Structure 1
Amino acid sequence: MDTSSPDISALIADLNNGIISSYCGIASIALVLFEYLLLLREEVTYFWIRKLTGATSLFLANRYITLLFTLYFLISGFFPLTTVERHALDLSQYAVWAAFSALRALALCRLRDVQVWKARAVALVIFLLAIVPVPINILQIVQMVPVEDASSVVSRASLISADVLVILVTWYTLVRSGASTQTKIGRASFADVLLRDGSLYFLAMSVLNALHIALTVLEFGGPVTPVSFVTTFTDPLTSLLVSRFLVHLQSVNRDTHSDSPSTLTGTGLGAETIRFERMVGSLGASINAVEGEDGEDEDWYDDTRAGTEADVELEDN
């Protein structure tokens, strides 16, 4: 058979793209299911048997929307969803991730005593940047915007911009404030988790989104599929990293509350306990931040310590 014909070559390329897409889809499904089973014990320990908080809501939404979307591909041949239902399930993930990024930035800005309106403005900008893929995909669904390189590049560039802003806020807040790296010997602190997991999340997502942009511009997916296959793994990995992030914060949260009040506030380095639980539920109950060069007012420190002791007593009761 003559494969030099343009039509035959296009058909072969289309079939090849279909095979690659199927393999990538199967690999992403295996990754999501494996991660779900691997993290199930921590999920039960830190979220199922505790009261509903902002962190719990974010965790469950992030974890189970991704799981449902993954299971859909397994049963789509038997119980197909409509186009609207399928895309609604997919795009709802981006709303959860945008909320997570915005709330992190809001809480961290408040730690630096940034004015409320400025903190909210930063969080709003981050949320709007992180949510850009949703309206673009909706416009593509209703065929108001064609599926092309430019739309994909704009979506991924906005996500990278949001991640850059969040990591800058994280580094500025925790590094410049001299946040301590442990709650007690051998234990990580909230600051440690926020720096480590936040930096890991930023690096992983930036690399994947940049790779997606590069492969899309180069039309690695071929003429039939003008976007790359990287998003097949980007979304599951985003969900995985967010879930791990929240689990690590909840782990530190439980260890912190199990300590004595003196351990919570006294580190021997003039540390302060900064509460931002109201921002994101139990996303981070306290961060032990080392006192700056000028120090803080002792009365404020005593009030904070007294408030923390009262919180611990209420939980014990």
Structure 2
Amino acid sequence: MSSAELDALALGARHLLAGKYFQLAAFVMLIYDHMLTLSDEVDKIWSRKFSGVTILFLLNRYVTPLQFIIILDAFHDPRWTKYACSHFAIFEGASTVALIAICQSIMILRVYALYRRSLYILIFLMVLWGAQIVTSAVGLHTGFMVALPPVLTGCILTGDSPIFPLVWVGPLVTDTIIFGLTVWRTRMYLLTSRKTHTIHVFIRDGAAYFLVIFMANLINTLFFFLADSDLKAIGASFSQLITAVMVSRIVLNLRSSNSWKQFGDTSAGASLGSRNERREKGRSLQPSFLTRTICDLEDSEDAEGSEGRVQVDDVGKDSTDKSTIPLSSMSIRRKLDSIPCDV
């Protein structure tokens, strides 16, 4: 073997080792965060009634590490043949695209709840979500397994096509639009009422999610254009795992918020009376409305079609001072009845 071939082999071995360390470190981060938040998960997820978002949360929470165990085995087990690796590399990318899509569906439901179950917002975001999956799949289709010398072990997905970065650009665009819609909607609450703890958590987690995921996907894109061929997709798994961690934290933080504990026990059949009374009581009703929008879908679903009266705490006053709001205005009732609140 010539000196040039030995140098190339040594460089490939270093790149492979860097990829394996990066994968292992990302997996340790995921498991460590899982251990830190397990008690919150039992308290806030398992002890409550199951819903659609609960299922999405658990898929993100448990399918992701199971998938990654297989990926780690493929990275280190020499029994994986080249034929198996060539097919597994596509599975690795496809499962990553699918699990990121699950995470983003939770974020979409979050925005859908914030916009009072707006059908237009839901349709727009679902079309965007579908376009992201299609573009990511198109980029993934151009990927292939890194060719390694026989002495090196590892099933690694990479690509050299100009459209391969669509795997990360698609989620980047979706996250940017979701964050923009979140900021646009929450600014209305900040301008018209005092900032409750739930709003603070909503904005803080949304901003943190966007910044972290944006940077992860941006780094992946830069790696593709600047790194060697066997390092182009080195950060793909980290991007997926940090997305899973951030989404889990968002759901748990909202369900743990003090605002939910304080106001989440209000009657689920909440509606307003006349328009004049709504303006007078709007300030005190705000926390209960927002809480029902974000944190208690199960109750609001049970309340669909219900009629009656609701007691709402007047924020900032003595907790014994309560207002009873009669049900009379059907036009306003439609806005507040059956508001989703699942994340």
Q: TM-score range by the shorter chain?
A: 0.7 to 0.9
- Which of 146, 162, 184 is the equivalent residue of 1:150? 162
Structure 1 306/281 Cα, relative in aligned 2: closer, same or farther at 3 Å? closer
Point out where structure 2 has 5 or more consecutive residues left out of the alignment: 146-157, 272-279, 301-312, 316-327, 339-343
1:104-148: CA deviations, max 9, x gaps? 33223336xx5x2x2133212331344232453256469xxx822
In the TM superposition, what is the alpha-carbon distance from 1:32 to its structure 2 partner? 1.4
Give the distance between the partners of 1:12 and 1:70, measured in 2 at CA.
Answer: 27
Aligned to 2:37: 39
In the TM superposition, what is the alpha-carbon distance from 1:208 to its structure 2 partner? 1.4
Aligned to 1:133: 136
Structure 1 138/110 Cα, relative in aligned 2: closer, same or farther at 3 Å? farther
Q: Which amino acid aligns with 1:122?
A: F
Give the distance between the partners of 2:44 and 2:125, measured in 1 at CA.
Answer: 26
Aligned to 1:274: 289
Contact 1:66 1:239 in 2 (8 A): yes
Q: Which amino acid aligns with 1:95?
A: A
Aligned to 2:195: 181
1:154-209: CA deviations, max 9, x gaps? 22222211111001100111112336422xxxxx21x2222110110001111111
In the TM superposition, what is the alpha-carbon distance from 1:34 to its structure 2 partner? 0.9
Contact 2:138 2:166 in 1 (8 A): no
Q: Which amino acid aligns with 1:274?
A: F
Aligned to 1:107: 113
The DSSP-based 3-state class of the residue aligned with 2:189 is coil
Aligned to 1:57: 55
Structure 1 90/97 Cα, relative in aligned 2: closer, same or farther at 3 Å? same
User: Normalising to structure 2: TM-score of the pair?
Assistant: 0.67
In the TM superposition, what is the alpha-carbon distance from 1:21 to its structure 2 partner? 0.8
Q: Which has the larger radius of gyration?
A: 2
Aligned to 1:311: none
In the TM superposition, what is the alpha-carbon distance from 1:278 to its structure 2 partner? 8.5
- Which of 201, 216, 219 is the equivalent residue of 2:224? 216
In the TM superposition, what is the alpha-carbon distance from 1:250 to its structure 2 partner? 1.5
Structure 1 22/42 Cα, relative in aligned 2: closer, same or farther at 3 Å? same
Give the distance between the partners of 1:78 and 1:193, measured in 2 at CA.
Answer: 46
Point out where structure 1 has 5 or more consecutive residues left out of the alignment: 183-187, 291-297, 309-317
Contact 1:54 1:281 in 2 (8 A): no
Aligned to 2:212: 204
Structure 1 21/209 Cα, relative in aligned 2: closer, same or farther at 3 Å? same
Residues 1:167 and 2:179 aligned together: yes
Aligned to 2:320: none
1:191-228: CA deviations, max 9, x gaps? 22221101100011111111221121112xx23x1514
- Which of 241, 245, 249 is the equivalent residue of 2:250? 245
Structure 1 237/246 Cα, relative in aligned 2: closer, same or farther at 3 Å? same
Could you say what the CA RMSD is over the residues aligned between the two structures, in angstroms? 4.1
Q: Which amino acid aligns with 1:125?
A: V
User: Normalising to structure 1: TM-score of the pair?
Assistant: 0.72
Greater CA drift, 236-245 or 65-74: 65-74
In the TM superposition, what is the alpha-carbon distance from 1:11 to its structure 2 partner? 1.7
Percent identity over the alignment is: 19
In the TM superposition, what is the alpha-carbon distance from 1:2 to its structure 2 partner? 6.3
- Which of 203, 208, 217 is the equivalent residue of 1:195? 203
Aligned to 2:319: none
Give the distance between the partners of 2:187 and 2:331, measured in 1 at CA.
Answer: 20
Give the distance between the partners of 2:291 and 2:265, measured in 1 at CA.
Answer: 18
Q: Which amino acid aligns with 1:60?
A: L
Q: Which amino acid aligns with 1:28?
A: A
1:57-96 paired onto structure 2 within 5 Å: 57-73=55-71, 77=77, 83=88, 89-96=95-102
Contact 1:55 1:246 in 2 (8 A): no
Give the distance between the partners of 2:209 and 2:16, measured in 1 at CA.
Answer: 30
Give the distance between the partners of 2:164 and 2:298, measured in 1 at CA.
Answer: 32
Structure 1 74/275 Cα, relative in aligned 2: closer, same or farther at 3 Å? same
1:285-300 paired onto structure 2 within 5 Å: 299=329
- Which of 219, 227, 236 is the equivalent residue of 2:232? 227
Give the distance between the partners of 2:65 and 2:162, measured in 1 at CA.
Answer: 29
Aligned to 1:255: 261
In the TM superposition, what is the alpha-carbon distance from 1:90 to its structure 2 partner? 3.4
In the TM superposition, what is the alpha-carbon distance from 1:89 to its structure 2 partner? 3.9
